Amino acid sequence: MTASVPREKQRVTAAEWIERAGAVQPRTEAFIDGRFVPAASGRTFPDIAGRDGSKIADVAEGGEEDVNRAVAAARASFDDRRWSDRSPADRKRVLLRLADRIREQRDELALLESLDVGKPIRDTLAVDVPSAAKTIQWYAETIDKLYGEVGPTGPDALSLVTREPIGVVAAIVPWNYPLIITAWKLGAALATGNSVVLKPASQSPLSALRLAELASEAGLPDGVLNVVPGPGAIIGNALARHPAVDKIAFTGSTEVGKSLLRAIGETDIKGVTLEMGGKSPQLVLADVGSIEAAASSIGWGIFYNSGQTCNAGSRLIVHRSIREELVERIAALGRDLAPAEPLDPATRLGAIVDERQLAKVLGYVELGRTEGARVVAGGERVREDTGGYYIPPTILDGVDNAWRVAREEIFGPVLTVTEFDDEDEGLRIANDSPFGLAAGLWTRDVKKAHRLARRLRAGTVWVNTFDASDITVPFGGFKQSGFGRDKGLAALDGYTQLKTTWLDLSDD
């Protein structure tokens, strides 16, 4: 007799995931002050699935009045200290319960994420949902392990340095990794006692709304977490200009980040962290150890998530002597990664998020041709008959670093290839970018690796690997990739302020 396999351990087939997708009934209203409510205007917008262009649901289209309601709820919850004054142990228990609830709802959250943004269900199940849960758990564990300081003031005075929450945080997150990046911001903000208004991207509102419900079930007080979906130009601007918002925590494009800075500068002074665009170089020296290993990491570093990753290694800067072999190996990997149905567990490359982003990516490929690049792989829309938005791994060879395709963020599975002859030239090309989010460096010379890693102007430098990470280390960029950090203990600095309390102990 064959033992039965627990349902959670069984492999769900593509047909079963597609059947579940047809029956999905997501939360679609704004979440304000502990309950779901329609937009004040009554308007909705269609949430479209990248996999086939179908409508998933009509979602509440928030506006300025909804922002005002959400900020008022967050302000009230912060001012009466219903969350920040809870004991560290109590806040820790709530966030640990939230992490558990995320894990319990893994299949539902993974399906919502895959439907919203077109990424393979195997990735949302194995990466996105577990990463979000781990992040919330990790920040929960920091709550009762952070200490203040006593200043060296001498016997007649006592100076205490303590961390205090910054207040009402407006977290604005993108559509490429909605759950993961939302967890980065919520974990640090809630662990330090803040109240939050979360603005998810219009392309990916569903997991954020469900997450708010799970947080409420875990015991987070009403008003501490509010979610307002809707157009970024309206909601983001309203949050940036709102006098009761104390902090903007933004991840997204450099253009939108600049617009938020302008709005803040015109109206207010508030805390800001920005994690913005990237055009990360993969600097491959002639003495690279294994071309095969480099090709695999570099290929996955740009093709994973259909290239819709802020730190994607989108610029290959390679020594002339190994360019041909390396490019061919990356192209071969790309040919094995044909885009397919995201809800098929065998699929490794899914869809572009929406039609607008697909048109942008294809426009850059055509621009590359016009500028003089050779398209050696991909470059055309595929699976058009599905109604979805798909483009295969694409390589533009012979690119001059001054061309737009080498300097502007494409945000698709498009790799540009630029040659160099000597180490200094390669380093100069790698650093010649308005962005500085991440970089890859490939050499078997450990001294050279240390020396060049220090000279690469990027927030993260990977040596002989790419996109390896952990919640324990900070993430953020230099130059137009922004300032401030997500992840790690460094993120807590962005959600707290230091207070000095001075006590006079003299007898006078």
Do the Cβ atoms of 341 and 51 come closer than 8 Å? yes
Q: How far apart are the first and last CA of the chain?
A: 87
Residue with tokens 């945080």: 169
Which member of 113, 213, 275, 419 is catalytic?
275
Please work out, in degrees rounded to the nearest 5, the angle formed at the alpha carbon of residue 95 by the alpha carbons of 28 and 56.
20
Which member of 61, 113, 310, 341 is catalytic?
310
The Cα–Cα gap between 375 and 385 comes to 24
Biggest distance spanned by C-alpha atoms of the chain: 87
Please work out, in degrees rounded to the nearest 5, the angle formed at the alpha carbon of residue 135 by the alpha carbons of 191 and 203.
105
With CA atoms as reference, report the closest residue to 50 among 118, 107, 114, 133.
Answer: 118
* Exposure of 486 in the CB half-sphere (CA atoms within 13 A): 29
Residue with tokens 């890693």: 453
* Exposure of 453 in the CB half-sphere (CA atoms within 13 A): 16
Please work out, in degrees rounded to the nearest 5, the angle formed at the alpha carbon of residue 308 by the alpha carbons of 403 and 300.
90
Helices (H) and strands (E) in the chain, counts: 17, 22
Length in residues, the chain: 508
Q: Is 310 a catalytic residue?
A: yes
Sign of CA dihedral 388, 394, 396, 402: positive
Interacting residues of 475 by C-beta distance below 8 A, sequence separation 6+: 184, 275, 459, 460, 469, 485, 486, 487, 488
H-only helix segments in 268-343: 291-303, 323-335
Do the Cβ atoms of 206 and 25 come closer than 8 Å? no
Interacting residues of 437 by C-beta distance below 8 A, sequence separation 6+: 275, 276, 277, 278, 280, 310, 311, 458, 459, 460, 476, 477, 478, 481, 482
Do the Cβ atoms of 297 and 289 come closer than 8 Å? no
Phi/psi of residue 44, nearest 5 degrees = -135, 170
Q: Can you say how many angstroms the Cα of residue 450 is from the centroid of all Cα atoms in its chain?
A: 28
Do the Cβ atoms of 283 and 259 come closer than 8 Å? no
Q: Is 275 a catalytic residue?
A: yes
Sign of CA dihedral 166, 168, 173, 178: positive
Do the Cβ atoms of 477 and 276 come closer than 8 Å? yes
The Cα–Cα gap between 80 and 78 comes to 6
Phi/psi of residue 344, nearest 5 degrees = -85, 120
Catalytic residues: 275, 310
